[in-house]
Amino acid sequence: MNIGINTWGLSQKFKKDFKKTLNELKDIGIREIEPCFVLSNSFNFLKRIGFYIGLTINGTSGSNWFAHLIEDKMNIVLEYGFNVNYVHLTFIMPDKKALGKMIPTAIKLAKKYHIKGYVISMLAKNKKTAEKYFDDIRKFSAALKEVGCKTIYHNHSEEMNGTLEYFLDNIPDLELEFDVGWSIIGGADPKNIITKYMDRICVIHFKDALNNSKKDLSIPIGKGSLNVDEIISLTINNYNNGKVEYIIDQDASKNDIIYDIKEGKNRIEESIKKYAKFI
């Protein structure tokens, strides 16, 4: 079994001791890292500084790797034996052309580190906002496709009102990293999205949530309203044949976040074993 982890919720731990945190992840059996890149060479100095301050204020500067640090951090991660297949791009909003400005750096890193796909998220609350990003997404997607790299959309709760489907239905090359927890927070049933877009999903982001759509990101996987068995049963064929990857996206924790990640990993693995016998 190969279950990965997104770096977002580990920001404070990475900021305090990057290598120690990698060792803690290895100790609980994590072998894949999904980092967040900030390709800051795309921005002017003032925007770059302002954005960094913003990441510091919201506590995510440790999980977001700026352009001048990416190669050093990637080399350490690979040295420690982790795989890096997919990468999130964190960028300034609402710059509607930010993604296109990242193309040269994104291509360079994709080639060097054999990145399978870049994950983007526009936090578009409606179709009108979504349309403003179409040209830039298509431009980015076409350029990265030339070097064998996918462009993948990650949903949040804001897009569960039909905006996610609007992106996918109007940009055929766009694939999906489906965050099941955000879908619940947004009032949607994860099963419906998975059933409709199974052939477009390349990553399942595991996050749990309360059934009242409250935005509490500290719930360990298996302790909220997420039906883990349902998600596994729907996707395990594609997981086993390598078409879908499972990534834990534990954004926060009321306890030790490594402990919560371990508990979530155990719950997912329990379900994988349960449904593997039916394959």
What is residue 50's predicted lDDT score, i.e. its pLDDT?
Answer: 55
Angle at 180 between CA 214 and CA 40, to 5 degrees: 90
Q: Which two tokens stand for residue 109?
A: 């890193």
Architecture field, domain 3-272 = Alpha-Beta Barrel (3.20)
What is residue 45's predicted lDDT score, i.e. its pLDDT?
Answer: 47
Q: Please report which confidence band the pLDDT of residue 278 belongs to, taking 50, 70 and 90 as the band edges.
A: low
Give this prediction's pTM.
0.93
Per-residue pLDDT reduced to its tens digit, 246-266: 999 999 999 899 999 999 999
Q: Please report which confidence band the pLDDT of residue 66 belongs to, taking 50, 70 and 90 as the band edges.
A: confident
Of all residues in the chain, the percent with pLDDT exceeding 90 is: 78
Mean pLDDT in residue range 209-232 = 90
Would you list the domain boundaries of the chain? 3-272
Mean pLDDT in residue range 10-26 = 95
Buried b or exposed e, range 149-176, using 16+ CB within 10 angstroms: bbbbbbbbbbbbeebbbbbbeebeebbb
Mean pLDDT in residue range 235-253 = 95
